Amino acid sequence: MLFGFVVLTCLFFFVLVVFLITFASYRYSRKSKGEVGDTVAGNLVLEVGWTLIPLMIAIVIFAWGAVIYVNFRVAPKDTLDIYVIGKQWMWKLQQPNGRKEINELHVPTGRDVRLIMGSEDVIHDFFVPAFRVKMDVVPGRYNTLWFRPTRPGKYRFYCSQYCGTNHALMGGWVTVQDPADYAAWLSGESGTTTDPVSTGEKLFSELACNTCHLGNGTGRAPSLNGVYGGKVLLADGSTITADDSYIRESILQPAAKIVAGYTPVMPTFQGLVTEEQIVSLTAYIKSLQSQPPPAKGAGVVAVTTGKK
């Protein structure tokens, strides 16, 4: 609608200006060789009008665009979260139940879908022209975008950021299905399906995370029960939401944000875990939401520190 408003506004003023120029050229043209034009000192009403009217229109366009941008960047609640990992030169995607796809993305109609995206190497860009959404996929952090597909079909997606020799081949298809068809596909036998929670729990043990992050809160690091989505109190007195980006940073750069009441003794896992393994660890930490956190230090949780 905003695009249509801008087009119609531009068209209106284009026609108005052309009409006024044409009218003035005819109306005030010299009718005789010796004719002298009147002296015009100015018109305050006209000058104020052609200043304020475009200004108000510009403010409306800015405010309208700002609302659209905020809605695009802030995903609604209860989204279908799908992880996307870009690497030269393919897209690896993982559904909530762990089913994995390469250069393919299946989503249901009528459901808000949020893509949580990271890169294993260089900057990529996930772009679905038909959905009018695109977002840079940057190494070292997560970016997100969301959309709500409304019509079944197949739609192309691309990498729109030059990322190397085979950049032009880095693309795939979004398959939008009716909810029943999507559910049937999701539970189908074809494709690779690995429960991310089970995988994350196994990694949590193999990496010895469970030796410090004890469920009863008595370890060198706080309990992770109920950490995801909660507020974390940091040593500098500030707070941060424990989302996917925070968990990822805490695994790779544990000293970046120190939690109040703990010291930075956790080693970094930079280079020791892949992006897909981080996704699995995050899924496991999310699953701990169903377990009540310990009363001691409630609200002070992290995956980054050792206890003082």
Q: Considering the domain boundaries, does residue 91 fall inside one?
A: yes
- Cis peptide preceding 64, ω within 30 of 0: no
Q: Considering the domain boundaries, does residue 86 fall inside one?
A: yes
Give the CATH number of the domain where residue 84 resides.
2.60.40.420
Whole-angstrom distance, CA of residue 92 vs CA of residue 119: 10
290 pLDDT tier (thresholds 50, 70, 90): low
Domain boundary among 161, 193, 225: 193
Q: Considering the domain boundaries, does residue 205 fall inside one?
A: yes
- Looking at the fold, whether 249 and 174 belong to one and the same domain comes out as no
pLDDT, tens digit, 9 for 90 and up, residues 68-81:
889 888 888 889 99
Q: Considering the domain boundaries, does residue 12 fall inside one?
A: no
- Looking at the fold, whether 179 and 244 belong to one and the same domain comes out as no
Q: What share of the chain has pLDDT > 70, as a percent? A: 92
- Looking at the fold, whether 188 and 201 belong to one and the same domain comes out as no
Whole-angstrom distance, CA of residue 238 vs CA of residue 40: 64
Number of domains forming the structure of the chain: 2
Among the residue ranges 60-69, 81-90, 207-216, the one predicted with the least confidence is 207-216
Mean pLDDT score, 179-185? 92
- Looking at the fold, whether 150 and 137 belong to one and the same domain comes out as yes
- Looking at the fold, whether 143 and 206 belong to one and the same domain comes out as no
Q: Considering the domain boundaries, does residue 20 fall inside one?
A: no
Sheet holding 104-108, edge to edge: 104-108, 171-177, 153-159, 124-128, 133-137
- Looking at the fold, whether 262 and 297 belong to one and the same domain comes out as yes
Give the CATH number of the domain where residue 294 resides.
1.10.760.10
* pLDDT the model gives residue 105: 94
- Looking at the fold, whether 161 and 206 belong to one and the same domain comes out as no
Q: With contact defined as beta carbons under 8 Å apart, do 159 and 170 qualify? A: yes
* pLDDT the model gives residue 109: 94
- What range does the domain containing 180 cover? 80-193
Mean pLDDT score, 116-131? 93
All residues at 6 or more sequence positions from 153 whose CB lies less than 8 Å from its CB, including other chains: 175, 176
Is residue 213 predicted with pLDDT exceeding 90? no
Domain boundary among 143, 173, 193: 193
pLDDT, tens digit, 9 for 90 and up, residues 136-168:
999 888 899 999 999 999 999 999 999 999 999
Q: Considering the domain boundaries, does residue 69 fall inside one?
A: no
Q: Considering the domain boundaries, does residue 63 fall inside one?
A: no
DSSP string covering 23-87, please? HHHHHTS--STT--PPP----HHHHHHHHHHHHHHHHHHHHHHHHHHHHHHSPPSS-EEEEEEEE
- Looking at the fold, whether 127 and 85 belong to one and the same domain comes out as yes
* pLDDT the model gives residue 291: 52
Q: With contact defined as beta carbons under 8 Å apart, do 291 and 213 qualify? A: no
* Mean of the per-residue pLDDT values of the chain: 85
Domain boundary among 173, 193, 213: 193
Residues 263-280 as b or e (16 or more Cβ within 10 Å = b): eeebeebeeebebbbbbb
* pLDDT the model gives residue 123: 94
List the structure tokens of 187: 């539970």
Q: Considering the domain boundaries, does residue 49 fall inside one?
A: no
Tokens 């808000």, residue located:
112
- Looking at the fold, whether 177 and 107 belong to one and the same domain comes out as yes
Strands 104-108 and 113-119, bridge-based pairing? unpaired
Whole-angstrom distance, CA of residue 40 vs CA of residue 117: 62
- Looking at the fold, whether 160 and 223 belong to one and the same domain comes out as no
Q: What Cα–Cα distance (Å) separates residue 276 from each residue in 24, 93, 152, 191, 246? A: 68, 9, 29, 17, 16
254 pLDDT tier (thresholds 50, 70, 90): confident
pLDDT, tens digit, 9 for 90 and up, residues 232-241:
888 888 888 8
DSSP bridge pairs for 158: 127, 171
Mean pLDDT score, 252-270? 84
302 pLDDT tier (thresholds 50, 70, 90): very low
Is residue 298 predicted with pLDDT exceeding 50? no
All residues at 6 or more sequence positions from 212 whose CB lies less than 8 Å from its CB, including other chains: 219, 220, 221, 266, 306
- Looking at the fold, whether 185 and 99 belong to one and the same domain comes out as yes
- Looking at the fold, whether 261 and 231 belong to one and the same domain comes out as yes
